[in-house]
Structure 1
Amino acid sequence: MSDQAVAHRYAQALFELALENNLLDRIEEELNQILRVAAESEEFRRMLDNQLIPAPEKRWVFDQIFAGKLHQLTENFFYVLLEKRRERFLTGIVKAYTKLADRQRNIIEAEVRSAAELSQEDKKDLEQKLSQSTGKNVRLIHKVDKGIIGGAIIKIGDKVLDGSIATRLQKMKEILMG
């Protein structure tokens, strides 16, 4: 079974439990909190990645860091990951869980690449227009890409709207070159 399939299976199980208990947002935040600790603490990350450390030791360390800070569902889920030796899939599980939660909330991500930083007002306007055109709540992810020279490239799901100057110049070159 692929890593992505394993991550999705665990995320799906957690998602269903969180939805059933009306804890969708809280569980997502707590999963991200665990990821932040792993990103900030090299020791914690190395401990999670080390398959030679027994699950009970990892659980003890986890409890020392997160005691009283997480909902029981999140704790139990993490304990299952440790027992099944699936903690290495945590990042993929969190991504899959977020996608499932976003689908439940009618949220889609739109990636916008532009040659320059967009103002907060421009981002809000673009988010609003994309929400109107898709009928979903849009979460905008903006990236600066100087290689597109000007304009923007918007990616929503598998659709790409390319309004970049670099692409226009390339098309013009192809026309002129015959």
Structure 2
Amino acid sequence: MAELTTIARPYAKAAFDFAVEKQAVDSWAEMLGFAALVSENETMRPLLAGSMASSALAKLFIDVCGEQLNEHGQNLIKVMAENGRLEVLPAVAQLFAEYRLEWAKEVEADVVSATELSDAQQQQIGVSLEKRLARKVKLNCSVDAGLIAGVIIKAGDLVIDGSVSGKLARLSDKLQS
């Protein structure tokens, strides 16, 4: 099982990263789940282990899946067939599901700004953090006029200091060293 997981991990991670980027995690989970069921089918399993040409196998697999796979899902199947890895689809789906559960967790980010942030600014910060952290983000916004301008964002171990006071402090440290 560990070997299958090792083989499946890059496919699952690539699919998950793509799904997050395209904001289609749920549809990808459904596609991979269905493809995994197809690959486990008693009629399909011998074909996956056989010596059928990869392009023919990919076409057959995609035809069997029909409308359940979108264009990008079909591309994943083609790549996996080309590499002789369709038999690890259940492990790919399982890993994807694990990534999805981890991603679904929400992380809180403290955003301290010099002035009140508009809704659009808060949304832009939230979207950027979600992309960077690959998680849903809940913003806790506050104002600290001592920052002069800019923002400080803290989310878990991540700290982004884009404040003028932070830049001045770093400049002061450089000048003193």
Q: TM-score range by the shorter chain?
A: 0.5 to 0.7
Q: Which residue of structure 2 aligns with residue 92 of structure 1?
A: 91
Q: Which residue of 2 aligns with 1:103?
A: 102
Write out aligned runs for 1:22-101 (5 A): 22-39=23-40, 41-50=41-50, 52-101=51-100
Partner of 1:12: 13
The alignment partner of 2:43 has SS state of helix
- Aligned partners of 1:38 and 1:45 also within 8 Å: yes
Distance 2:3 2:76 in 1: 20
How many angstroms does 1:93 deviate by? 1.1
One-letter amino acid of the counterpart of residue 63, structure 1: I
Larger radius of gyration: 2
Instruction: State how far apart, in whole Å, the 1-side matches of 2:18 and 2:64 are.
Output: 24
The separation in 1 between residues aligned to 2:11 and 2:54, in whole angstroms, is 18
Query: Does structure 1 retain, via aligned residues, the 8 Å contact 2:45–2:87?
Result: no
Structure 2: segments with no counterpart, 5+ residues = 107-177
Q: Which position in structure 2 is the counterpart of 1:147? A: none
Cα RMSD (Å): 2.0
Task: Tell me how far 1:92 sits from its aligned partner.
Answer: 1.2
The percentage of counterpart residues that share the same residue type is 20
Q: Which runs of 4+ in 1 moved over 3 A?
A: none
CA drift at 1:2: 3.6
Q: TM-score, normalised by structure 2?
A: 0.54
Kept after mapping to 2: 8 A contact 1:27/1:71: no
Q: Is the Cα–Cα contact under 8 Å of residues 28 and 98 in structure 1 kept in the other structure?
A: yes
Is the contact between residue 8 and residue 96 of structure 1 (CA under 8 Å) also seen in structure 2?
A: yes
Give the alignment of 1:124-143 within 5 angstroms.
none
Partner amino acid, structure 2, of 1:8 = R
CA distance in 2: counterparts of 1:63 and 1:36, whole angstroms: 13
Please give the alpha-carbon distance, in whole angstroms, between the structure 1 residues aligned to 2:3 and 2:36: 21
Query: Which shows bigger deviation, 64-73 or 74-83?
Result: 64-73
Instruction: Give secondary structure in 2 for the equivalent of 1:67.
Output: helix
Residue 42 of structure 1, CA deviation: 1.6
1:106 to partner: Cα distance? 2.0
Question: May I ask how many residue pairs the two structures share in their alignment?
Answer: 105
Q: Deviations over 1:13-64 (max 9, x none)?
A: 110001000110101111111222334x3211221222x1111121221232
TM-score by length of 1: 0.54
Structure 2 counterpart of 1:123: none
Residue by residue, what CA displacement relative to the aligned partner does 1:106-163 show, whole Å, maximum 9, x if unpaired?
29xxxxxxxxxxxxxxxxxxxxxxxxxxxxxxxxxxxxxxxxxxxxxxxxxxxxxxxx
